[in-house]
Amino acid sequence: MEFIINKECFYKAISDVSHAVSIKTPIPILSGIKIVANDDCLTLLGSNSDIVIEKTIPLTIDGVKELEVHEKGTVVLSAKYLSEIVKKLSDVIHVKLNENQSVTIKSNEIVMNLKGLRSGEYPNLPQIDGACYFNIPSAELLEIIKQTAFAVSKSETRPSLTGVNLSIKENSLSCVATNSHRLALRELPLESKVNGSFIVPSKSLNELTKLINDEAGIIHIFITKNYIVFKSNNISLFSRLIEGNYPNVSGLLPKELKTIITLDTKTLLRGIDRAYLFASEWKNNNVHLEILDNSKLRISSNSTELGKIEETQSIKSIRGDAGLSISLDGSFLLDALKAIKEKEVKLSFGGPMRPVLIEPSDNSSYRHLISPVRTY
C-alpha cells in the first residue's frame, strides 16, 4: 500500500471516522482506523462494534487532485497516534506500508514510522445488499434528529427508550422519542416502499449530525434486521438497532383540551430561560405558568437559596378556560421551544395535572408533550 494525499483532506477523514473509535476498548483492533487504498479512492473505517463510520476519499474533489494511489493495500493504524501525527504535518503526506506491517509516513523532511495491525482481524462491514431503503434530504433528516433525539431516556433500565423510534407506514415517517415524562413526535410525508418500526440509538443519531450538514444532499437509509445505515456521497454510518418493542404512544396525545394559547416563540423561550435560573433542581426544575386576565401569561420560579423571578408576557390568542395554573420542568420546556423554528408556538392544556401539548401554531407535524410536576 502506498499513496500521497493532501494533509487537510486526510485529517478531516481521520477525524470523522474517529467518532466511532473507542480508545479504551477491550478489543485492540477496534482502537485503530482501517485504511484501504484502491485504484480510485482511499477508504477509512472506524468502529466500536455498535457504530461503524466509513469515509471515502476520491482522487479528486471539486476538480482538485487530493489523492494519488501508487499501490493498493490495507492496514489498521492507531486512531489516537495517526490523528496526532497527521495533525502536526504539513500539506502533502506520503504513506507507505512496509513488509513488517509498519507504515512510513513522510511529509517534506519529516519521516515517521508507525506500527500497524493486520487488517484481516478488523470486523467486516454489515451487509446491506438487498436491504430495504428509503431516501430523505439531509436538511430534513437533521431537523428530525434535532427535534426528537434530546427527549430520549438517559437511563438504561429501559433500553428501548434510549433510542428514537422510526416508524414508516403508508408513505409517512413518524419519529418518536420519550423518557416517560416528555415526548417528542415529528411526522414527515415520505415516498417509500419500506414499512416497519425501528429503534435507533440516540447516540448514533447525534454522531450522524456531526458528519453531515444541510448541504449533504440526499441521504440513503438502509434497514437490515440488526442495522440501520445512513449513506451520503462519501460517508456512511452503520448503527446497530435497539432490540425490543417501542411503547405505543399514540394514545398519550391529549384529545380533550380545556385551554389553548398562542405566544411568540422566541419571547417565551427567553422568559422560560430566565425563570429556569431560579428553578430548584431538587424540585424538578419547577417553572410555574399562570394565565392572567385572559390576556397575559405569568412565568415564575423561586429558590429558597437564590430568590425568585416573575414576569408576564402577552398572549396572542386564547381559547377555552382562562383559569389555568400549572408547573412544568423548565429544562424540558427549554428543549421543546429550542426545537421550534416557527415564529409562534401553541400551548394546549387539558388541566393542571394533564400533559401540556407544545407545537408550532401553524404546523402540527412536530409535537411535544410534557407532563406537569408537583409544586412540593
Over residues 188-222, the pLDDT tens digits come to 998 888 889 999 999 999 999 999 988 889 999 99
Q: Identify the segments of the chain with pLDDT beneath 70.
A: 280-284, 375-376
pLDDT of residue 364: 85
Query: What DSSP state is assigned to residue 208?
Result: H
Q: Which of 210, 234, 134 is nearest to 175 (CA)?
A: 134
User: Rounded to 10 degrees, what is the CA torsion of 326, 329, 330, 331?
Assistant: -160
Phi-psi domain of 48 (left: phi exceeds 0; alpha: psi -120 through 50; beta: other): alpha
Evaluate whether 134 touches 194 at the Cβ level (below 8 Å).
yes
Q: What is the pLDDT of residue 164?
A: 98
Residue showing cell 400551548: 347
* Angle CA 268–269–273, to nearest 5: 115
What pLDDT does residue 282 have?
A: 58
Q: Where is 73: in which H helix or E strand?
A: strand 73-78
Question: Residue 167: helix, strand or coil by DSSP?
Answer: strand
3-class state of residue 162 by DSSP: helix
pTM of the model: 0.91
φ, ψ dihedrals at 15, nearest 5°: -65, -40
Does residue 235 sit in helix, strand or coil? strand
Which amino acid is residue 36, in one-letter code? Answer: V
| Residue 283 confidence (pLDDT) | 64
- Three-class secondary structure of residue 295 per DSSP: coil
pLDDT of residue 216: 80
